[in-house]
Amino acid sequence: MRTLSTVNRKVSLLFLSCTLPLSAIAQDGGLGATRRAPAVEANTMQLGARVAYTNISQLEGGTMGIGAIWEYAVADNLLFGVTLDHWRENGGAADLYHTLEVTDTVLGGHARMLFTQFDLPVRPYGLLGITTHRLTVKDSRAIPPTEGQPRVAQRVDVNSDTAAELGVDLGVGVSYPVNEKVDLTAEIKWRNILDDSVKYDQLAFTGGVGYLL
């Protein structure tokens, strides 16, 4: 069962991941500053790490996850990239003796379009991608103790299933160039699994840092 302190930690991490780029902007003079974010140079590569708070349909609440990203700029406003993300969530328990654990490892490719027409110190962007999800669902039940026995339940795994599912990503975000080598990003992304019988669509709030190679 999720404790209040655990929820507070997750909310705090989400707040920091989403506000870190905006804090950097404020230190640089705010959105009203005259400084404009420099354009991305074509034929450059970027490697980064990120953390995400993901809300999963059919599960209670959300979970924290980690990921990595590689991108290549084919133009000053268009990047193609590959991502690898992972999360695990214990949720959907019907009672004390029934738990559901879901793990998802997501490998995806995407195109990220920068909106360079705005005179801002950040780079707004839209994202469209195709993913493959390696979903593992572990449904566990426990036999409750009977009268006269120790008050300890014997846990029994009822079902554990792993499947690969195709999906589509659709997202928006902003990136902020800290300097010539480092970018900060904040992003909201909807991850839809194409198989309607798999009820684990996701809404991910992501914060990350990228380094220009």
CATH code (residue 64): 2.40.160.20
Q: Quote the domain boundaries for residue 121.
A: 4-29+42-212
d(CA 175, CA 127): 12
For 41: left if phi > 0, alpha if psi spans -120 to 50, otherwise beta; the answer is: beta
**Does residue 180 fall inside a structural domain?**
yes
Mean pLDDT, the chain, rounded, equals: 83
How many domains is the chain partitioned into structurally? 1
Give the whole-angstrom CA distance, residue 100 versus residue 19. Answer: 32
Per-residue pLDDT tens over the stretch 36-76: 888 899 999 999 999 999 999 888 778 999 999 999 999 99
**Is residue 96 in a domain?**
yes
Tokens linked to 124 = 């707004």
Is residue 103 in a domain?
Answer: yes
Q: Concatenate the DSSP letters of all residues of 140-209 into one string.
A: EEEEPPPTTS-S-PEEEEEEEEEEEEEEEEEEEEEEEESSSSEEEEEEEEEEEES-TT----EEEEEEEE
Residue 193, pLDDT > 50, answer yes
Is residue 37 one of the residues assigned to a domain?
no
Going from the C-alpha of 183 to that of each of 21, 26, 84, 118, 136, the distances in angstroms are 9, 15, 18, 18, 33
| CA 196-200-111 angle, 5° bins | 85
Evaluate whether residue 160 is within a structural domain. yes
Report the pLDDT value the prediction gives residue 154, as an integer from 0 to 100. Answer: 61
Residue appearing with tokens 């027409």: 117
User: Is 93 contained in some domain?
Assistant: yes
Q: Is 34 inside any structural domain? A: no
List pLDDT tens digits, range 142-191: 776 666 665 555 656 678 899 999 999 999 999 999 999 999 999 999 99
Q: Is residue 36 part of a domain?
A: no
* 8 A C-beta contact, residue 52 and residue 186: no
pLDDT over 80 at 11, yes or no: no
Q: Which of 94-103, 122-131, 132-141 has the highest mean pLDDT?
A: 122-131
Distance CA 161, CA 185 (A): 34
3-state SS assignment for residue 114: strand
